[in-house]
Each structure stands twice: as structure tokens, then as C-alpha cells.
Structure 1
Amino acid sequence: MADERNREIKIKLYTSIDNLKDFFYSLSLLKLVHCNGGLGLGVPFSSSFVAWDFLYADKDKSIAKVEAFTEVFIKGHTLLMDYIVLHKKPQEKWERTTLEKLLSFISNMEEAEKALKCDDTVKESVWMARFAVHYLSALSALGDFQFGKSTTEEKDHCPCPCNHPLIYTDTTIGNPKTWYGKLDVILGSFTSDRQEKKESPVAVAGIWDEVDDDNECTLDSPGGKCSSLGDHLSHVQSQAIVFSFYQRNRHQDLNFVPTLAVSRKHIQFHFYDSEKDMFLMSCELPLFREGDIHLNLCTVVATWLVVNYKALMTGATKEMEKEPKFGLHEYFGPVSLDYYKTGIKMAPLQPVEMRNTINLAKVQAQKRCLATEMNESKYQRRK
């Protein structure tokens, strides 16, 4: 019976890993057009602006260059193919643990489906807690996660019967002169010795349209109604860039660092390599099969690869490295770029804010009115 069950899982995994090569799951190389992150001023994620375009294979810009999802996860692809085709499990303990997390999740996927398919009236902050416990944490070999503190009601335990404890912390990240803000969820721990050696945290952004009545922030904390992920790309991309610089400063061996954007129905992956200045973005991937209550296994496998990226990701291929860069380094210039390379911290900060309005009552000013006075003097002589 167990052998038959394992055979079924292997067939499903083979189909899923094969589907990850399809266009729908591909990763797009991006090129920066304009942004407001290099002003030398503090700009919150919710006010960030990132304009970009695809890299194209033709002069008419009709064929975008994309990469198969598995191109940057050759380690993960090899691990799965060894298990499916050669019936081999990895010898290295951490990789073995990573594979067993996926197999365990698939074997008990009904539990995750039940936890996530709750009533639509359930608050998004409650749904996000379930998603972190029963989806992200269940697929991650590390398993730890922390919620960003917010003004919304904070529950000590997962709202479903599992009663899993929830941890809240200040997740403010940035620099007084860069993009900054709070991360909704951090998958992984910044203090764990295991994390330092084996894995790096993943940032997660919950994307909702509206907020709770007592919360003014629509993007930097969970709460509200589900929104299209595409409506908030600038917010997520600025967060992905800041988080990548922060992680690269802590882990010199990292290349692409992922940030996840999540709604009730979709998940999207953003990858930025702050050293090579390369940005990859996936499409909005469905969490559930169309018209079904069951999770999309292909998206599950993709998420598993991403949240375990330290062990399963190989980074840019030689062909990808020959492509034009994202262009952030050149756009920022050396001064602003240094704020990101050396100054990004995870701690409360007082940003050098951009002035959107002028209030001279709070600013000392030296008025100059020479031209007007000279012009008025002509009329004084006529009186």
C-alpha cells in the first residue's frame, strides 16, 4: 500500500516538475525604466514607484525573453529527478530534510486545503496566519516564521484548531535614505544558527485592497480584501530589492533572493540579484486548481523550490548573465547605491522623508523679492 502511494506521488511530482518548464510558469527578465528609490530620501514601500519593461528577443519588442522556472533551480530539479527516476534520496541531511518536507506536505495536502479554503468573510490577517502555518512553513525545511507587528489585532495562535503559536516582531527594513517599510511575514529566523549555515529568510508581502477600520496602512500589514497582485508590483519589487541587498550583505554566497507576493488566490515570485543586478519575475500562479478546492501541485512544487532557495537554487545561467542587466546600479549611481549596499538594516528608522507638500510655517526661509520690487517701483513714481 505504501509503495503504491509513493508511486502515485512520484507520478504527480514528475508531471509537476515537467509543467514547470511551460511558458505559464516561466520567469521574465526585467529591465528598469524609472524608479524613485535613488533619490537619497526615505520612500515607503507603499509610495514606491518602479517602471520596468521586459527584455526582448527582437527589435519590434514582440517576443519577450523568458526563462523556464527550473533554469535557476537545477539543484532542486536534480534532487527531484533523482528521487523520481532513480529512486534515490539525497545523502546530505539538509537536502534530505528538504525533500521530506515536500513529500510530507503532498501526503497531507488535504489539511492545508482545509485550512486555506475558509469562508470569504474571514479577515485577511487571519487567512495569512493560516497560509504561513499550513503552506509556507509546511514547505520550508527551516519552518520558522515571524509576522510584522501592526495595529491590527494580533492573535497568539493560528486561528484554526492546530493552535500553532504565532510570533510578532518589528520587521521594519531599509535605510533613512532608501525605500523602507515593514515586511508582512518573514519565513525563517534572523537569529538561528541553523539559518546562518543552511538557509536564508524569505520575505512575504500580503496584497490586499482595503484595510481594517482601525488600520491606515493598506500594504505594509495584513488586513482587508483580496487584490490583484499586478496592481501592487512597485510595492513588491521595491521590497524585493531592499531585502536582496540586506540578505546579500549578510550572506555573500547568495545570488537571487526571493520575495513572495500573496493573495487568497495567487502567489507570485520576485527574484533580485543585488550583486549581478538581475531581476526575475514570475506570472501570478494559481494557488488552487481552477474551479476546485484542491491546491495546484505545480504551484506547490514551485513554492517549495523558492522557500528552500538556499539549498535548491543555482542562480543565473551563463546565458542569462550575457543578457542586459536590470539597470538599477547604473540608475542609482554610486552614492545612492552605497546606501543600499552597506546601509540597509532591519530596525526602526527615522527616514529622510520626501516632501510632497510645502509648509513654510515649519521651515526657516529667506525670501527674495528683488525683481518684483523693482517692477513695482515704476508704479510708485506714477502715484
Structure 2
Amino acid sequence: MADDSGQCANKRRRLTDCFLLSVDDLSLSDKSDLTTAFHKLCSTYYALNIRLLPYKINYCNAAISSGGVTFSEAFCELETLKKGFFLGDIFRRGLDIGIEFLQGKIPEAKHEKIMLAKLVSFLKAGEKVDLDCESETDLSVLSNHLFAKLATSSDFTIDKNCKNTRKYEKRNQCSCRDENCLFTGCYGDTSIGNNKVWHGDVDAIIKNEIVIQNLEVELDSPFCRNPQLAAETIVFSFLQKKRHPELSNFLIPCIGIADNAMILMFYDSENDVLLESSPVPLTSTTCKNKFSVEAVLISWLAINYRFLCTGLTDDMLPYKAGFFAQSKDMINVYENNLTMQNIGPPPAKEIILPSEWSYNAYLLEKQRRLNEVSKNLILKEEK
């Protein structure tokens, strides 16, 4: 009962805090950094902007006749289309809320105040944490210290098969170096999809709303084009469309972590458009143990996409990925039969044997001679 009372008190405190929001809650330095981060969403200077690249799928194994393919074995040949876009264009509500806040205006809707309070509280705290973004362990640290703290709920699930993290589970302890840091998530089943098509375990799911994947690659180009992330993004978009048909749009992001940077990939399962963002540095250039304000802002937008993402612009609609054509007869599975959790291996296929078997004189003669050999052996044993 005491625990319930404490949780209620914390909830009331959070609600009170969000209604007392003020831009003056941030230091001058934080305001400046946040303004710079917002600039990267809508700047006319190409080099400063976080770009969005649309892709066409030339070939993929999303619907092969031999059965479903796991995400780790996904193949997706992506062709760069001729026109690019910018990240701010699909997060117009997020830009409106953030820029108006910097100008002293607080949103009226309660859920928007709560989301904004999460961003402000995170920036005020200026939290530092040791990160090794190439490690599976640190993906749980990222989820615990960054993504979950920017979400309206701190619930998240880390793949139960993730290495080097299970030792912390019983102690409910984060795998960071702070022994007093509590882990707000859990380790469990993160499988999505259908074993007839693309499916498998993702590294993390934040409040069942967004997938986080460690890509374990080095970024040697402005865009990643990772086939595993593309497959997971496409599957998750169809899944979210099925689970939340009430959404205003179905441009669903997934977050990829690669080479100390984060990447957003989006797929709209209604309009068949696939987009990828340019990389955003995870850590600050001045302090390697602190998240960059750009990463904090982009994470906040992505985690809360249901409210902050306004979907594809009219200019983006013509740039089709071609997934519907690639998935062919399996598109019905993607649209209607994807699930979350308990996605096992594909069922064993029944082996249908031939109704006729070919036998010939050669084999018949060999059988006769072997029968003679066997008969002679038996006679010898009897003697």
C-alpha cells in the first residue's frame, strides 16, 4: 500500500511539474544548445541539417518461397532516389512545441505538457553516463538513461538473449557503473513479425512503441542503408498500423545505433515510403560522457512520434519504396498477421513423398547377388 501511495505521489508531482513549466527552467547555455539543435531540423544550410533520404527497394527476401527469414538474415538492396528531404518536415508538431517553448509559450494540451516536461527535465539534469555504443550492454544503458527517460512511460524491454546483461536482472540494477542506478525496464521477449515472412528478436522495444537496434557497423558513408534495420522498420510499421489503426499517420520510426551515432529509419506502411536520416552523434563533442543535445532532441521526437510526427509531406508521397511489389503474395501476412512476442521458428514443412519409385534390372540383379552372399554366410555360420 505504501508503494502505491508513493507511486501516486510521484505521478502527482510529475503532473504538477509539467503545469509549472517555464523556459526559464533551462540555463542560458541549455537554451542556446537546444536552439542550435532545433536549427538542425529546419536550417536552410544543407550541411547543418539532419537529412532524410528516400529509398527504393530493388530486391529483398521479404517474401521468399522457402519460408520466413530472420531479421539478421534479411537482405534489402536499397536504391537512392533523386530527391532528398529534411527531418523537421515530418516532425512539424514537435518543432512547433519546442520553438514556441523557447519563445516562452507552453502548449495547452496536457499530454504535450507532459512530453515537453520530459525533455526539459532531461536537459536540466545534465546527466553523465559512461557509454560504449558498440556493446550490447550499453544498449540497455542507452535505453535506461536516454530513451526511457524521454518517453511518457519508463517501461521498456531488452532482448532476453542480449549478452552481458542478465547478471543485473535479479538485482534490478542498471548495467552502468553506478551501483545505485535502478533499471526501469525488463529483459524479455522482443520478437516481432511472422515466421512466414521477416521476423525475429529486436534488441530493445521502448514501451511497445519503438524499436532500438544495435547495428554493429561503422558509418563510412553519410547514410547507413542497413538491411536489418530496414526489415525491422517495415515490419514494425505494419505491426503498429494493425495495433493502432487510430493513428493520424503510419510513418513509424525505428532507431539504429552505430559507431557512436544514432540513425532513424522510417516506413509508412500505408503509402509505401521508406526514409533514412543522416547520423546524429550520440555524445557531446565537449564531454564524451554526456549525450549531445541533438541526440536528446531527436530521441525525444522519435520516442514520442505518435504525437510529434506529422507524417509524410505531399512532396514525399511520390517516392515509393516498392515494398508491396517486392512482398508479392505475402503482403496479406504483413498487413494482417504480424504479431508481437512469441514468434517462434518457422514450422517444419511436411515432406511429400513421390507416389512412384523407379526400379530397374541393374538394381534387381545386385539384390539377387547380395541375397546369394547372405545365404552363403548363413550356411558358413551353421557349419
| TM-score of the alignment, normalized to the shorter chain, above 0.5 | yes
Aligned to 2:56: 31
Query: Is 1:341 matched up with 2:359?
Result: no
1:80-91 equivalences under 5 Å are: 80-85=98-103, 87-91=104-108
Q: Alpha carbons of 1:67 and 1:232: their partners in 2 closer, same or farther (altered >3 Å)?
A: closer
TM-score (normalised: structure 1) = 0.76
Among candidates 30, 47, 52, match of residue 9 of structure 1:
30
C-alpha separation between the residues in 2 aligned to 1:354 and 1:232?
32
Q: How many residues align?
A: 321
Counterpart in 1 of 2:92?
74
Give the CA RMSD over aligned residues.
2.9
Q: Which letter does structure 1 place at the counterpart of 2:340? A: M
CA separation in 2, counterparts of 1:55 and 1:76?
Answer: 27
1:74 shift after superposition: 0.5
Secondary structure of 2:62's counterpart equals: coil
**Compared CA separation, residues 239 and 138, structure 1 to 2 (3 A):** same
1:32-111 superposed matches below 5 A: 32-40=57-65, 41-56=67-82, 65-85=83-103, 87-109=104-126, 111=127
Q: Could you say which residue in structure 2 is the equivalent of 1:246?
A: 239
Q: Which one has the largest radius of gyration?
A: 2
**C-alpha distance 368-66 of structure 1, shift in aligned 2 (>3 A):** farther
**Mapping for residues 300-379 of structure 1, pairs under 5 Å:** 300-321=296-317, 323-333=318-328, 335-352=329-346, 365-366=353-354
Counterpart for residue 131 of structure 1: 142
Deviation of residue 146 (structure 1)? 1.1
Q: Does 1:285 align with 2:310?
A: no
Hey, what does 2:130 align to over in structure 1?
116
Contact 2:190 2:202 survives alignment (8 Å): yes
Distance of aligned partners of 1:158 and 1:89 in 2 relative to their CA distance in 1, 3 Å threshold: same
Q: How much does 1:341 deviate?
A: 0.2
Which one-letter code corresponds to 1:80 in the other structure? G
Deviation at 1:331, TM superposition (A): 2.1
Per the alignment, in what secondary structure is the counterpart of residue 341 of structure 1?
Answer: helix
Give 1:379's aligned residue. Answer: none
In structure 1, what is the Cα distance between the partners aligned to 2:151 and 2:201? Answer: 22
> Residues 29 and 54 of structure 1 are in contact (CA less than 8 Å); yes or no, is this contact kept in structure 2?
yes
1:163 pairs with 182, 187, 190, which one? 182
What per-residue deviation string (whole Å, max 9, x for no partner) do you get for residues 174-194 of structure 1? 1121101012111014xxxxx
Match of 2:210 among 202, 217, 227: 202
Larger deviation: 232-241 or 7-16?
A: 7-16
Deviation at 1:264, TM superposition (A): 5.8
Distance 1:280 1:4 in 2: 35
Distance 1:148 1:180 in 2: 14
Structure 1: state its 5+ residue gaps: 57-64, 190-200, 209-226, 356-361, 374-383
Q: Which residue of 2 aligns with 1:269?
A: 264
Runs of 5+ consecutive residues of structure 2 not aligned to the other structure: 1-22, 361-383
Looking at structure 2, the residues matched to 238 and 4 of structure 1 have their Cα atoms a distance apart, in angstroms, of: 41
Could you give the per-residue CA deviations for residues 313-365 of structure 1, whole angstroms, max 9, x where no partner exists? 100111212x23111012222x210010001011323444799xxxxxx9565
Query: Which stretch shows the higher mean deviation, 136-145 or 157-166?
Result: 157-166
> Percent same amino acid at aligned positions?
26
Alignment deviations for residues 21-52 of structure 1 (CA, whole Å, 9 cap, x no partner): 34451111111110000225210001110001
Partners of 1:130 and 1:327 lie apart in 2 by 36
C-alpha offsets along residues 268-319 of structure 1, whole Å, 9 cap, x if unaligned?
A: 1011010111111012221123474143212221121111101111001112
